[in-house]
Structure 1
Amino acid sequence: MGSEGRPGTVIHVTGFKKFHGVAGNPTETVVGNLREYVGKRGLPNGVTLGSCTVIETAGKGALNALYTLLNSAFPSNEEDPQLLPESSNAERIIWLHLGVNAGATKFAVECRALNEATFLYPDELGWQPQREPIVPEDGDTSHIREASLPVNEIVQALIKKGYDVTASNDAGRFVCNYVYYHSLHHSTKRGSKSLFVHVPLFTKINEEIQMQFVAALLEVLASI
């Protein structure tokens, strides 16, 4: 990885609102404060922080809003939104999704998403699927989509920066996995990149350290 980043890279970041058992989602705070924080810290040349959006902790009921958000990173005058970018000089677009794992004590970069929605409790819009495929056209619930960025390389770079972080092969079956799977599916069609990172509660790793971590993650993503 180089330290200067690639020209034309835009990184969009999402977090989640509250959900069952988590009244205060740390990713809502982190994403809400990220633009001001990065503005003070700075990013490598050629890298831009795009949208910073806090989304509903919901699956099917929030799907249209999710795809509207994902498509917003691309020119609105494209005739076919399913086509890959034709120009190699087009902006490199990265979607960074942040979610909380209330039982975690360290950061986790997710290697994959599973085509299965099995919610232990209803999402914030009342949906509670059981063993439903997230994207039916991909086949049954055993289908996996791998991260479109080099997870192990990212993890090692963050460890070198002093953060307690690991690679994870299980993003759960709740909304985090649901959003990640759709984002990876969308990225395949649109030529963007997608990554999901789970963070702990602020009681395990405080807000300032989490802000530092996400800013460092943006720098790592800019350089791969």
Structure 2
Amino acid sequence: MCPPQALVEVYIKHWNCIEVRSNEMGSEGPKGVTIHVTGFKKFQGVAENPTETMVSNLKTFVGKRGLLDGVTLGSCTVLETAGDGALPMLYKIMELGVANGNSSNGQVVWLHFGVNNGAVKFAIERQAVNEATFCCPDEFGWQPQQCPIVHEDGETSRARETSCPVEAILQFLKKKGFDATISDDAGRFVCNYVYYHSLRFAEQRGHKSLFVHVPLFSRIDEATQMQFAATLVEAIASTC
């Protein structure tokens, strides 16, 4: 079953109101980069999601390590591993990001982490597709099949691509010693669902959005993945 479109339309209309306010409030001044980060809770087959640990600990980790000048690590939020179930929190932090972005008058980037339990390396996702076809029920019991994520965007074949320079980000990470690749398929599960909404929002607001899949900690240990997350923040700040 596809989600009630009225619910999605309410969020979209609310975004449009936020956009009008943001255009009215803009001002000139020094520009920086604010990066907001999300991860996911557990889901079927993954009892301990590494992205929940990474995102929960990222502020403390970069606080000890430090960030490049002009870079701000904004919100770090763990979402429900559910399609519609993740949207209320996702939209809430994005609305806050609009308001905070106006005050700093800089670039805003939405960085999303998800786990691929079959992966052995990090994958930078170039795009998301307007299709929800869940291989299993999400954590709220929803299992759509061939549903458009946003009906007004048209067919399920519609794709949205990140405006982040994925090739430059990849080279930055490789120079730091991380085994990473670029992917053109974020799947059709919750990761793709959230990424599609984020890309759509980012395009409308002049922000940027990027999704990265990580392996389980049993494949790449927690310490290395924390280093990767912090380095990825630097890569985004340096290239975006």
- 1:75 alignment partner, SS class: helix
> What's the C-alpha RMSD, in Å, of the aligned pairs?
1.5
Q: Render the CA deviation track for 1:8-57: whole Å, top value 9, x for unaligned.
A: 21000000000010000000000011001000110000111000000100
User: Are 1:208 and 2:223 matched, yes or no?
Assistant: yes
Instruction: Identify, as 1 or 2, the structure richer in helix.
Output: 2
For 1:23 and 1:156, how far apart are their aligned partners in 2?
A: 32
One-letter code aligned to 2:217: F
For 1:158 and 1:111, how far apart are their aligned partners in 2?
A: 16
- 2:34 alignment partner, SS class: strand
One-letter code aligned to 1:51: S
Q: Render the CA deviation track for 1:52-104: whole Å, top value 9, x for unaligned.
A: 0001001023322221121110228xxxxxxxx7x9x8221000000000000
1:170 corresponds to which of 162, 185, 188: 185
Unmatched 5+ stretches in structure 2: 1-29
Q: How does 1:32-71 map to 2 (within 5 A)?
A: 32-71=56-95
User: Are 1:119 and 2:134 matched, yes or no?
Assistant: yes
Q: Higher relative contact order at CA 8 Å, sep ≥6: structure 1 or structure 2?
A: 1
Unmatched 5+ stretches in structure 1: 1-5, 77-84
For residue 7 of structure 1, report the CA deviation from its aligned partner: 4.2
**Which residue does 1:98 correspond to in 2?**
113
**Which residue does 1:72 correspond to in 2?**
96
Contact 2:34-2:73 within 8 A present in 1 as well: yes
- The answer to which of 64-73 and 135-144 deviates more is 64-73
- 1:11 alignment partner, SS class: strand
For 1:54 and 1:130, how far apart are their aligned partners in 2?
A: 25
2:173 corresponds to which of 153, 158, 165: 158
**Which residue does 1:3 correspond to in 2?**
none
Percent identity of equivalent pairs: 63
- 2:77 alignment partner, SS class: strand
Give the alignment's TM-score, normalised by structure 1.
0.90
One-letter code aligned to 1:195: L
Give the alignment's TM-score, normalised by structure 2.
0.84
For 1:64 and 1:33, how far apart are their aligned partners in 2?
A: 23
User: Are 1:130 and 2:151 matched, yes or no?
Assistant: no
Runs of 4+ in 1 over 4 A off after TM superposition: none
